[in-house]
Chains A and B, each alone.
Chain A
Amino acid sequence: MGLSGQITDLRLEVPQPDASPLRILDLPHLDFEAGSVIGISGPSGSGKTSLLHCLAGLMRPTSGAILWNDQDIAALSATDCDLWRREHVGLVFQDFQLIPELSVLENIALPQFFSQWRLTETQKNSLHKQGQQLGLNNLYQRASSLSRGEQQRVAVARSLWHHPALILADEPTASLDRAHADKVMQALLEHASQHRTTLIVASHDPAVLDLMDRVIALDSGRMTQGQPLS
């Protein structure tokens, strides 16, 4: 079951030398229903990535609360936040963020090595199954030898591997052609639907945003639109 979230009085500011702080985000209130699929749109610099990073606990807001299932992650220590993220969050980055020297299999299961020495046979079988679903047939090849489309699919597979309750994807289709973009979105949506995972996708792509239950439009860190799509 996905996480339900709530943002209250979220402000994110960056200090500027010899000037007043630069406002990045200013969101009085936002709700994220458990198991919903939510898009975040907006022009470059509107605060999409910053919002996703705040929602993932990768950055601490200047003020306000970010509640996931009533737990305020903005108030967690860095260590607790890392642990929370490992248990509940799957992240997809715009630039994939794979480790090129590792194999596809090691990249997908990377978070597993934070707590165990080697993968079990069951885990490997499960990885092969997941890889096949995403069209990744050779899990032992180096990530550096993959095409961009394959790399993004590996990044998606990594975010889904531990069945997180919340998936945060930052421009997951930005560098892909239409066919690959559709595959990636299909994988994310199928997973969200099957596991009732909360999926939040930041994107410029109208085709991606059309797949969302709701789109939050941002401009200069403020919400300009946030109604559920009919």
Chain B
Amino acid sequence: MMNPLIIVKADYRAMRGSAWAAVLLVAFAVAIGVALSAQEKALRTSTTRAAADFDLVIGAAGSATQLVMTTVYLQPEALPLMPGEILKSLGKDPRVKAFAPIAFGDVVRSYPVIGTTLDFVTRWGRYDAPMQGRFFAAENEAVVGHDVAVQLGEEIIPAHGLGSDNSVKGATSALEANHRHETTRLRVVGRLPATGSPWDKAILVPIESVWETHGFGNGHSQDGQIGAPFDAEKVPPLPAIVVKPHRIADAYALRSDYRKYGLMALFPAEILVSLYRNLGDVRDAMLVASILNSVLILCAIILLIIAIFSLRRRRYALLRALGASALYSGLVAWLGAFGLIAAGCLAGLALGWVLTAALSLWLSAQTGLDLQLSPDWTQTMPALMLLMAGSLFACLPAVMAYRLSLHETLRGE
């Protein structure tokens, strides 16, 4: 069996820097494509998973996107408020299986403090018990999300949140220290299982605690009571309510009914679909840019290969002069070019995954979303296409090697 690799290796040794440059160029082109595709998929999956328990969200009329971003993804923005009486009608509505008012605004060591009910803390009864400790049972108790760096039994003091505070989670900023609700003391009694959502970095308290802290009473006719039923007349204005309907048809009916009287009811999926469409558009545009980038790089590589071939043509002529078949010299030229492109594609796939993992870590830290990467064949398609195109283009130097005039080339003409 012939051994073309001995010459291919010699060629690579001769090329040194230019071979590495060619591999790196291809690798970067592939890595960008892989990272874009994998990241977009991870973002879709994680945002969908994070919204799974938010069947229907009701808020005051305003920006639907902002309502979802604040309620589901805990992006701190001030939402318009709706009258608290709505809890009464929801409590009586036979189509509603459960509902949970949500209140935002406070922070502890930069973790958002979310006021809600036990129904939502247990994720509509899916959790029988928290991961550690127990669920809250009184106004002055709190449970923490899976990733909150606060110990069970610790006493925490909420502070007034100041919009987009970019402090590191777990650290108390000077702003936070100056805006503490000193009269409120909360005892951490439990830690929730991971949800893979920003709620893993939130502190959950009875909503009555938030109301009390801000001087709105506790929403009940009696002190110390937590959870539904609420006293509609005493419930302060609310930013958001999450509703769990009995059936899908109920969800649509509720969505329609609560889109009146200055209210807004929506499925987070509606917003996500629009977001994904935009994400998809951005991804498609970036993928097209990435493919064009790959094609340009491939052209650059081919030009480089042809330039290198010109420098190596005497070598290929020598091989023929010494009796190498046209197949052998062609194979040497093809393997030399294809090897660079293949190495670039493989390195690009690896680099793409490293890039994706790094991006995911950063995005997870920024958003609290658990961006799980799941490699699949579709993400390797750009690399495979580049490889296939490269294998075809690599035939160019092979054909050129076959068509060499041995006499002229050996004489250096």
Enumerate chain A interface residues (CB-CB to B < 8 A).
49-50, 53, 56, 58-59, 78-79, 82-83, 85-87, 89, 91, 93, 97, 99-102, 106, 110-111, 113-118, 158
Contacts and interface: CB of A to CB of B under 8 A. Distances in A.
Contact of B13 (A91, A101, A110): A101
B323 A101 contact: no
Contact of B407 (A59, A110, A111): A59
A85 B319 CA distance: 11
Contacts of B322: 85-86, 91, 110-111, 114, 158
Contacts of A49: 411
Given A116-B1, A116-B3, A100 B406 contact: no
B410 A102 contact: no
Contacts of B411: 49
B321 interface: yes
Interface string B3-40: 11011011101100000000000000000000000000
A114 B328 contact: yes
B2 A99 contact: no
B315 interface: yes
A53 B11 CA distance: 26
A58 B7 contact: no
Contacts of A79: 325-326
B2 A82 contact: no
Contacts of A118: 3
Contacts of A115: 2
A53 B323 CA distance: 13
Interface in B284-342: 314-315, 318-326, 328
B336 to A, nearest CB: 13
A53 B411 CA distance: 10
B2 A116 contact: yes
A101 B1 contact: no
A105 to B, nearest CB: 11
Contacts of B407: 50, 53, 58-59
Contact of A113 (B3, B320, B321, B326): B3
B318 A97 contact: yes
Q: Which one of A87, A111, A115 has the greatest number of beta carbons of chain B within 10 Å? A: A115
Contacts of B328: 114
Contact of A59 (B13, B14, B406): B406
Contacts of B2: 113-117
Given A50-B407, A116-B3, A87 B323 contact: yes
13 contacts: A50-B407, A86-B324, A97-B318, A97-B321, A102-B10, A111-B322, A111-B323, A113-B3, A113-B7, A114-B322, A115-B2, A116-B2, A118-B3
Contacts of A102: 6, 10
A97 B6 contact: no
Contact of B323 (A97, A114, A117): A114
B410 A117 contact: no
A56 B406 CA distance: 11
A87 B323 CA distance: 8
A86 B323 CA distance: 4
B325 A114 contact: yes
Q: Which one of B11, B326, B410 has the greatest number of beta carbons of chain A within 10 Å? A: B410
Nearest to B327: A79
A111 B321 CA distance: 10
Interface in B373-413: 405-407, 410-411
Contacts of A56: 321
B14 A111 contact: no
Given A53-B406, A58-B407, A113 B6 contact: yes
Contacts of B11: 101
Nearest to B324: A114
A79 B2 CA distance: 16
A111 B326 contact: no
Given A59-B406, A116-B1, A117-B1, A97 B325 contact: no
A83 B324 CA distance: 7
A37 to B, nearest CB: 22
A109 B337 CA distance: 25
A56 B318 CA distance: 13
A101 B5 CA distance: 13
Nearest to B11: A101
Given A97-B318, A114-B325, A58 B13 contact: no
A101 B406 contact: no
9 tightest Cβ-Cβ pairs between the two chains A and B: A86-B323, A59-B407, A101-B10, A101-B13, A113-B3, A58-B406, A117-B3, A53-B407, A114-B324
Given A49-B411, A118-B3, A99 B10 contact: yes
Contacts of B7: 99, 113
A7 B60 CA distance: 102
Nearest to A97: B318
Q: Which one of B323, B325, B407 has the greatest number of beta carbons of chain A within 10 Å? A: B323
A74 to B, nearest CB: 13
A100 B410 contact: no
B6 A85 contact: no
Contacts of A106: 6
Given A102-B6, A113-B2, A113-B6, A97 B410 contact: yes
Nearest to A158: B322
A89 B328 CA distance: 18
Contact of A83 (B4, B318, B325, B405): B325
B3 A97 contact: no
A217 B405 CA distance: 26
Contacts of A93: 410
A126 B11 CA distance: 27
A93 B318 CA distance: 10
